[in-house]
Amino acid sequence: MKRPPRRINDITPEETTLPFKAFISHVFATLSHLKISKNSNSSSLINLIDTCATTCLITLNFLLIISEAMDVKNSYDLPSFAVRLNPILFHCQGFIKWTYCLTHYVEIQEIIDSMEICHEMCQKIDRNDKGTSRYEIKMADCQKNSVAFVNVWMMVCVFGVVQWCANPIIYDLYDDLYGVKNINSTFTRHLPYPGIFPWAVNGFKMYLITFTFQFVGGIGAGIGIGAYDILSITFIMYTCSYLEYLNETLTKEIVNRRDDPAKIGSFERKLKICFRQHRQILEAFERIQIITSFPMFIQCFNTIIALCLVSLEASTTEINSSVECVMKLLSTAEYWSGINIELFFYCYFGTKIQELGSRLSDAFYCCNWELITGDYESNRLGINKMVVLGIMRAQRPMEMAGGPFYILSLETFRALISLSLSNAIILRQLSN
C-alpha cells in the first residue's frame, strides 16, 4: 500500500518551522527499538540486536500464554480460576497490541503523513508572529505532556511486571529466613505465573530457567502494552492540539475589514485554510481509528473480565499479617489500578476529542462572517458557503470507537467499571 499523496499543493517546506516528526522524535526513538518504526540513524548491528530482542520477547510472550492457558484446567473454584485467567488476559493484550503495531506499519506511516500535513496547515493559518507563537507554544506544551507520558507509562508497564515477578522471590526469601525448615522436604519455589511446562521444576537450575522464561515473557507483554499506548495516545494528543488551535483561531477572528478588500481577501484565505484544515484533521482521525478500533475493543472486553476477576480475587482473599498475603494484596491493587488508569487515558481523550470536534460548529459560526457586507458579493458568497459547509461537517461526531460496541468516553469508563464491580459481587455470591 502506498502512502497518500500530498494534496495540499500550496504548502511548502520553507513556510514551516519544525516538522511534525521533530515533535514526536522521542516517541519513535523508543519505538524504533521495538521495530514499530524505522530509524535511519541506527547501525546494522543495532538493528540486528533490536530484531533479535523483539523476536525473543514476542515469542516468549506467546509461549507463556500457551503455558498459562493449559493450566486453566487445574482450576478447582472461581477464585483459583481468576488467579489463572488474569495473567492470560494481561499477556494476551500485550501480545495483540505489539503484533498489531508490527502488522500495521504502513497505516502508522500514513497517520504520520496526515499529521504532518495538519501541522503544516496550522502554521499557514495565521502568518503573523502572534498566531505562530501561539501555535508553537501549544505544540511545545503537547510535546512536554507526551514526553512525560512516554517516560512514566513505559516505566509503569515494565516495572509493574518486575514488581509482580519479584513477589515469589520475596516469598521464598522470607520462608528461607523465618520459615520452618524441613530437612526431608522436596524442592519448592514460587513462580510469578501459574503454568504447565514440558519439564519438571525439581531443582534450582530448572527453576531459574522457568522463572527467566516467565519473566521475559511478562516483560514482553508489558512492553507491548506500553508501546501501543504510547503510539496511539500521542497521535490523539496532537489531534486534540490541532482541534484546540483551530477552535481558538476561528473564535478569536475579528473582522474590522468591511471597507478593505485586501483584508477581506485575507480573511477569506484564512477561513479557507481553516476549512481545509478541518477536513485534513478528520482524515487523520479516521486513520487513527483504523489502528485503535480493534485493540481498544479487546482492551474494553479484557477490562470488564479482568476487573471482575480481580475484584473477586481480592474479596475472597483471607486477610492476615503474612508476607504472602500482603504482597498479594499489593499486586492485586497495582494490577487493578493499572487497568483502570489505562482505560481512563483513552476514555478521557475520547471525551476531549469529541467535545473539541463538536465545538467547531460554534467556532465556524462565531468567526464574524456576518460582518462581510454585500459590497463584496463574490467574497461574501464564498465565505458563507465555507461557513455553512464547516458547520455541517462539524455536526458529525468525532468518536473513538472500541470495536462495534464501545464509544470511548468518560461515561463508558464509568459504565464499564460499574458493570465489572456488579459482576464481581454476583460471582462472589456464587462462589460462596
pLDDT of 266 above 90: no
Q: Which residue has the higher pLDDT, 282 or 379?
A: 282
pLDDT tens by residue, 43-77: 888 889 999 999 999 999 999 999 999 999 988 88
Best mean pLDDT range from 167-181, 252-266, 323-337: 323-337
d(CA 416, CA 412): 6
User: Do the Cβ atoms of 247 and 286 come closer than 8 Å?
Assistant: no
pLDDT tens by residue, 330-346: 888 888 888 889 989 99
Q: Give the pLDDT score at 184.
A: 46
pLDDT tens by residue, 347-395: 999 999 999 988 888 888 877 776 666 555 566 777 778 888 888 888 8
Among candidate residues 148, 144, 124, 146, the one with its CA nearest the CA of residue 135: 124
- Residue count of the chain: 432
pLDDT tens by residue, 209-249: 999 999 999 999 999 999 999 999 999 999 999 999 988 88
Handedness of CA 217, 218, 219, 223 (dihedral sign): positive
Locus of grid cell 503454568: 195
407 forms beta bridges with 401
Q: Give the pLDDT score at 2.
A: 44
Q: Give the pLDDT score at 432.
A: 63
Q: Give the pLDDT score at 3.
A: 46
Q: Please state which of the ranges 91-105, 133-147, 176-190 shows the lowest mean pLDDT.
A: 176-190
Read off the C-alpha cell for 239: 489531534
Which whole number is the average pLDDT over 116-127?
A: 83
**pLDDT category of residue 177 using cuts at 50, 70 and 90:** confident
Give 409: exposed, middle or buried? Use CB within 10 Å, 0-12, 13-18, 19+.
buried
Q: Please state which of the ranges 15-24, 127-136, 281-290 shows the lowest mean pLDDT.
A: 127-136
Tell me the angle at which helices 105-125 and 78-103 cross, rounded to the nearest 10 degrees.
Answer: 70
d(CA 403, CA 396): 18
**pLDDT category of residue 6 using cuts at 50, 70 and 90:** very low
Q: Which residue has the higher pLDDT, 362 or 127?
A: 362
Locus of grid cell 480475587: 313
Residue 295, CA atoms < 13 Å, CB-side half-sphere: 31
The predicted model scores a pTM of 0.85
pLDDT of 158 above 80: yes
Alpha helices, DSSP H only, in 317-376?
323-365
> Does residue 84 come out as left (phi exceeding 0), alpha (psi in the -120 to 50 range) or beta?
alpha
DSSP 402: E
pLDDT of 79 above 70: yes
Q: Give the pLDDT score at 60.
A: 96
Locus of grid cell 515477578: 165
The identity of residue 356, as a single letter, is L
